[in-house]
Every structure is written in structure tokens, then in C-alpha cells.
Structure 1
């Protein structure tokens, strides 16, 4: 289970770090993210800007917690909580019929869709698998296994981060 734990930690850390970094590339990126939150109409206007700050801070907290095996448990819990909130928000937006672009990973103009729910549920499953793995892992890992786990994490993170492009490509 140690390799599963490593793969889950790395995948989620990469996803949340990448997501936060795309929102912090510059003032215009953060303004665009805040505007996208406003268009979702999930929060009162006065809470949109503070929520944008909280989202980015939380997205930065998750990889910081997942960086250490000792804090992996709260890292997975925080990641799972964020992914649950994001998924619930997306479902609510889709049910309302609101058309808004997904700014999950920066400047995408792709409208929110069920593929975002599927992606988040997959990431949520990784967080739950990570939670289970924390208790079952034995902390004995060979370098080759660690390298393979990190490689798998890179592939999973790439697929999750480019899902909009992949869906468009295969449609």
C-alpha cells in the first residue's frame, strides 16, 4: 500500500498545486478566476472575492500537507473536503442551467459540464484511497517502486488537468 499512498499523495498534490498556480500567475489570472466564481452565482456578491482567496489558500494548503507522510491524513481530508465542495457546486450550477466556464486550471473557456463532475469524483476517489492507504502503508518502499508511483501520479495529474482538452479532442 505504500506505493498507492505515494501515488495518491503526489497526484493530489500536483493537481492542487497546479490549480492554485494557474490562479496566481498574475493579477489578471486571479481577477479572471474571481469573475468566474461570480458568474457561477453560488455565493452572494460580497462573499465572492473572499471565497476566491480561501479557495486558492486551501488549494495551496493541500499539497503542503501531502508533502509529508506525517501530515498526509489531514491533507487527504482537506483535499476530499475541497473536492466534495467543488463537485457539489458544479452539480448545482449544471442543474440550474447556468453556463459558465471552468477556471479550475486557469484560462479554460470550456463550460462546466458533467466531465468536471466525473474528474472531481475520480480525484475524490484518490483522496479516499489515500486515506485508506495511510493506515495500511508500511513505510518500506524501494526506489524503483517510488519512481513508478511518481510516474503514475504524473500521468494521472496530467489527464485530470487536461481533461477539457481531452474531451474536446475525442468528441
Structure 2
């Protein structure tokens, strides 16, 4: 109950763009057939939808999904639909999630992240692709486990004071 409350600085829009671009570049890495490789775009997109829903919305989620579909050479729109649904869910619960601790937030965002993995999974199965295995759905749980790390890293620039002062209590 006595957690320190930080007054966050306004987020820099260039930092949002940089973090989304960095997540996209991490998704472009050739991970091969590794199991439990998180979707970094979904994780960072979810973070910004929860913390800055007016700056990062469903339009950006749709565009990032189209870019991921083009990169993966998959059915055009499957990631776009998944990211748009993820964004909608995050914007819907963003006020409740922000009141929770990071450990509880992890469990609150896990259904959204797993759902973002289920949408392309189901679309591929409906289109007649081979069953990729249940290990494909583990990625959502790995992303949920990475939520506290992503939150800490992406909030760091907002937590530093503009002019540090040893006598200031906040």
C-alpha cells in the first residue's frame, strides 16, 4: 500500500516511435524455429496502448500488423487483426491495469497477449495451413512474463527528473 508514487514526465513521441521501431526490428531477427520467441511488437504496442492510449491507438496497431504480415509473407491482415484486437482490449482495460502492481499487471495482460497469438493461429488453421503445434501459443505467456521488464525499461525516460535536486521529495 505504501508504494512510492512517481510523477511521470510527458512521454516523448519520438521515444514511442523509436520503441515501436526497435520492437519491429527485434521481430525481424531470424530466430529460426525456436519455441517461445515473444512477439516484441505486440508487447511494446500493448504497453503504449495501456500507458498512452491517445497517442498509440488501433490505427498504429493496424499498420504495424500489416508490416508484420508483409515481413512474414503470411495472409495479409492476420497480424493486423490480432494487433487491432490487442489494442482495443488494452485501451478498454488501461485504467484498471495502471492501478495494479507490475506482478498483477502481468496476469491482467496475459489474456490479451495470448489472444493476440490465438488470432493468427486460428486464421492459419482456417485457411488450411498445417497445424503449427501447441508450442506456438506459449509465446503469449512468454510475453506476459516479459511485461514487468518492458514496463520498467519503457518508463525509465519518464521517471527521471528534469532538474535533479537532492532536497525535493518527489
TM-score after normalising by structure 2 = 0.36
When Rg is computed on C-alpha atoms for both structures, the one with the higher figure is 2
Question: Comparing both chains, which one has the higher relative contact order based on Cα–Cα distances under 8 Å and sequence gaps of 6 or more?
Answer: 1
The structure that is helix-richer by fraction is 1
